[in-house]
Amino acid sequence: MTNLVEGISGSRRDPWWDTYSQRAHNLRQSEVRSLFSVVSRPEVVSLAGGMPNIKDLPLDALADTVADLIREHGAQALQYGQGRGWDPLRQDICQIMALEGIRGDFENVVVTTGSQQAVDLITQIFVNPGDVILCEAPSYLGSLGIFQSYQADIRHVPMDQEGLLPDALEKAILKARADGKSIKFLYTIPNFHNPAGVTQSLERRRAIVDLCERHHVLILEDNPYGLLGFESEPLPALQSFNPDGVVYLGSFSKMFAPGYRIGWALAPHAIRDKLVLANESAILSPSMMGQMVLNAYIRDFDWFGQVKQYRGMYKERRDAMLESLERYLPVCSWTVPAGGFYTWVKLPEGLDAKDMLPRAVTGLVAYVSGTAFYADGQGRDHLRLSYCFPPPDEIREGVRRLSVVVNREKELVDLFSLPTNNAVPQVKNINNAHPLKSGN
Amino acid sequence: MTNLVEGISGSRRDPWWDTYSQRAHNLRQSEVRSLFSVVSRPEVVSLAGGMPNIKDLPLDALADTVADLIREHGAQALQYGQGRGWDPLRQDICQIMALEGIRGDFENVVVTTGSQQAVDLITQIFVNPGDVILCEAPSYLGSLGIFQSYQADIRHVPMDQEGLLPDALEKAILKARADGKSIKFLYTIPNFHNPAGVTQSLERRRAIVDLCERHHVLILEDNPYGLLGFESEPLPALQSFNPDGVVYLGSFSKMFAPGYRIGWALAPHAIRDKLVLANESAILSPSMMGQMVLNAYIRDFDWFGQVKQYRGMYKERRDAMLESLERYLPVCSWTVPAGGFYTWVKLPEGLDAKDMLPRAVTGLVAYVSGTAFYADGQGRDHLRLSYCFPPPDEIREGVRRLSVVVNREKELVDLFSLPTNNAVPQVKNINNAHPLKSGN
């Protein structure tokens, strides 16, 4: 469990060191955060971060809308709200979710401080230390960090090009139960997976939902990127197949912008009740201002037109990424995302993404090592490249720089027929049995 | 531990009932929340809630400021920020805290989703189930709810008119240690206490800080109302006496408005590191929009003039409250707040604030029963009245209506010389030994 994250600071020179909770010792700095100061240097091309590119938002019109809102409804927007969220926005959220086949009651929507907080609250209300959470291999590092902080037993389940493998999922469920463990939920990102870049097929969705229903395993469906598909309109959400067995998480961060920190959970009624209590306990109420601005944005703007603009802009960047990979990095293989922000790149045999990172940064390009996306030390043979934030020319230059580093590492490995750092054992890639289809 | 809160919903008809965590079963609906639908009826005068009265904010000017911010810096304000908060606002926060004698480094400030979230994060990083948290008797119900959700062993320490009693605090520390317990912190609200309405004297502050330092007990100083004093400028914060031994919590909710949900913690460096990690895990980053708006508000507006306006407005309401209590409720006693939002009212012998509440609501007035402010079933002989939100005439009418209910209850009690509901045992009021000074 040590490869996901860097060690936490703290020592016996801290007078309060002996008084921290178990959970505090499980909080770790993510690899992405550790990189932050380096990759924000302007000379570095960062293919590491997941910041959406929001510069094409209609800022002038938005400024007018928000100003009107403050003038006319400021006393409401600046006040406390209710822990469950503001009803008009909860209704808007239901309309947005309908695009993915969800027929939800707005009463079952809980508004949160970004969907990250929804992951935190769901983990809080389900997970005791040692309980099992099933996750894809690899999985979103922010959620893995939360699961670790609650001392969950995280078990990765392999995927292929169509997402999570049902057979492997069933095997993991049976194994956990044979171990006498309580499985609290399956955490899955069905669309444009972070970091794997793959999307569950319709058939796969049905199989996963059926399997979980049969084994009475709750599904936590995390869907921040669902509307950002490049090839087609969204597939139905897992939630639409079994509303009683799925908690669905959505976010305005990618379809609009992250700056108001507004996300949501749609949950079966009884779970919804607990989520509201947990939300009230944690923050009293989500920001009324943020909720009212988003409601006005949904009402007054062509928000779906904005989503389409995003799709086109990110598609162009994805294409730049894939073309550059073909051109500069034929020694690697990668996934071909049909939407979202990321591709998942497999390094040539013997290269180590984590060890290589400092040399990449010296070469003025940054990525996230695959190790960040596993709780169990896997991932050294992979890295995540994001194409969401840099413009296409920077993406091309970034991949070119990366290729210089990779090719140099590969030469060394080939020369010595050894891993570049033989202190690091090569871990087994459990994806090998069902390799993610290569884009190369 | 059952009197603080109402039972949680849930039953075996909920298919996920068997899978909730221990913590989920400790989440309860607060008495204030249970009241919400009733007290929001327009015919009811609510002396229950703690909503600030923000209708005098300069909304037109604020609308212009926010519009300029979005036009000129929208791409930054709508983006993700960093988990610790935005540096310019962290620096503003240090200037605000300087008014209470704090010389803090902005690097030790962590911006949170209201100061409620700061209480949650601090509890997360310190408290294992069964650990002791020392609280005033009574204490803020929102924090008690958090402490209970983390399965803390909450121990109340009596107060008098000058706040927490050092002798009783020392006794509680020694008792907890004799019980073999780990004390994680003392939670205290030094200014205009919620709900008790009292303020720690300077001498008392020094004694509390010294005592905690001697016994190596961390102090969590919660100070949302500190700038809202009616009689004088603020006393020095506990933090200013021992920066290494105090985590200080502040909020924009009362000195400006709650709608952006921005609060903060100032913590010793090592604790600050853990708070940042916990904040990133819970919400990734606080709202950049909220932080940039507050920074602009502090920069462009006479924010301290606004604080002075609030002081005058709340003082007028407090005076209306105290005059009405003298006029209509001479059978009660109460505390005289020198600032903030609340007075703490002691009922005549034999009356029960919790049992009386439905009859008060029928009489079209609402309050919060004292039981909401204890984790151990005390408080039936007290109620909290808030004067922050209703205008003075409504406050007078509310107290008049309350007096009708109280006097009727008292007649019954006197007639039968019995508690009105003899199913309810009268609990011992541990404040009796050091009664809060009466305003009557």
What mean pLDDT comes out for the span A186-212?
Answer: 98
Are B274 and A27 an interchain contact pair (Cβ–Cβ within 8 Å)? yes
**pLDDT exceeds cutoff 60 at A11:** no
Q: Are B206 and B223 in contact (CB under 8 A)?
A: no
| Minimal CA separation from A432 to chain B, in Å | 31
DSSP state of B439: -
Q: Which residues pair with A46 in a beta bridge?
A: A366
Tokens of A59: 């800022």
Give the per-residue pLDDT at B427. Answer: 37
Backbone region of residue B10 per phi and psi (left: phi > 0; alpha: psi in -120 to 50; beta: other values): left
Is B282 touching A (CB cutoff 8 A)? yes
Is B55 touching A (CB cutoff 8 A)? yes
Phi and psi dihedrals of A382, rounded to 5? -125, 160
Tokens of A307: 């989503």
Q: Which of A54, A83, A286 sits opposite B78 (nearest CB)?
A: A54
Q: Are A185 and A220 in contact (CB under 8 A)?
A: yes
Name the band, by pLDDT with cuts 50, 70 and 90, for residue B33. low
Q: Are A106 and A93 in contact (CB under 8 A)?
A: yes
Give the per-residue pLDDT at A424. Answer: 43
Are B70 and A70 an interchain contact pair (Cβ–Cβ within 8 Å)? no
Name the band, by pLDDT with cuts 50, 70 and 90, for residue B440. very low
Q: Are A99 and A227 in contact (CB under 8 A)?
A: yes
DSSP state of B389: S
Name the band, by pLDDT with cuts 50, 70 and 90, for residue B11. low
Is B295 touching A (CB cutoff 8 A)? no
Q: Are A3 and A379 in contact (CB under 8 A)?
A: yes
Name the band, by pLDDT with cuts 50, 70 and 90, for residue B437. very low
CA distance A143 to A114: 13
Tokens of A272: 């919804």
Q: Which of B68, B125, B258 sits opposite A80 (nearest CB)?
A: B258
**pLDDT exceeds cutoff 60 at A194:** yes
Phi and psi dihedrals of B190, rounded to 5? -70, -30
**pLDDT exceeds cutoff 60 at B434:** no
Is A219 touching B (CB cutoff 8 A)? no
Percent of chain B with pLDDT over 70: 90
Q: Which residues pair with A283 in a beta bridge?
A: none
The three-class DSSP label of residue B398 is: helix
| Minimal CA separation from A237 to chain B, in Å | 21
Is B215 touching A (CB cutoff 8 A)? no
Residues of chain A contacting residue B131, judged by C-beta atoms under 8 Å apart? 21
Distances from the Cα of B109 to the Cα of A218, A338, B86, B234, B307, angstroms: 38, 41, 10, 20, 22
DSSP state of B229: B
Output the pTM of the full model.
0.91
Give per-residue burial for A328-354: e unless 16+ CB within 10 Å, then b. bbebbbbbbbbbbbbbbbbbbebbbbb
For A185, the closest chain B residue by CA position comes to B19
> Which one of B113, B127, B252 makes the best mutation probe of the A interface by having the most chain A beta carbons within 10 Å?
B113
**pLDDT exceeds cutoff 70 at A113:** yes
Name the band, by pLDDT with cuts 50, 70 and 90, for residue B31. low
Are A79 and B54 an interchain contact pair (Cβ–Cβ within 8 Å)? yes
Residues of chain B contacting residue A140, judged by C-beta atoms under 8 Å apart? none
Which residues lie closer than 8 Å to B423 by C-beta, 6 or more apart? Answer: none
CA distance A330 to A323: 11
Give the per-residue pLDDT at B25. Answer: 87
Is A116 touching B (CB cutoff 8 A)? yes
Helix pair angle (B141-149, B114-126), 10° resolution:
30
Residues of chain B contacting residue A288, judged by C-beta atoms under 8 Å apart? 258-259
Lowest mean pLDDT among A201-205, B9-13, B36-40: B9-13
Are B218 and A19 an interchain contact pair (Cβ–Cβ within 8 Å)? yes
Kindly provide the ipTM of the predicted complex, given to two decimals. Answer: 0.91
The three-class DSSP label of residue A397 is: helix
Residue A411, Cβ neighbours under 10 Å: how many? 10
| B residues 22-41 closer than 8 Å to A (CB) | 22-24, 27-30, 33, 36
Residues of chain B contacting residue A115, judged by C-beta atoms under 8 Å apart? none
Which residue from A109, A165, A170, A178 is spatially nearest to A137, judged by alpha carbons?
Answer: A165
For A131, the closest chain B residue by CA position comes to B21
Are A117 and B78 an interchain contact pair (Cβ–Cβ within 8 Å)? no
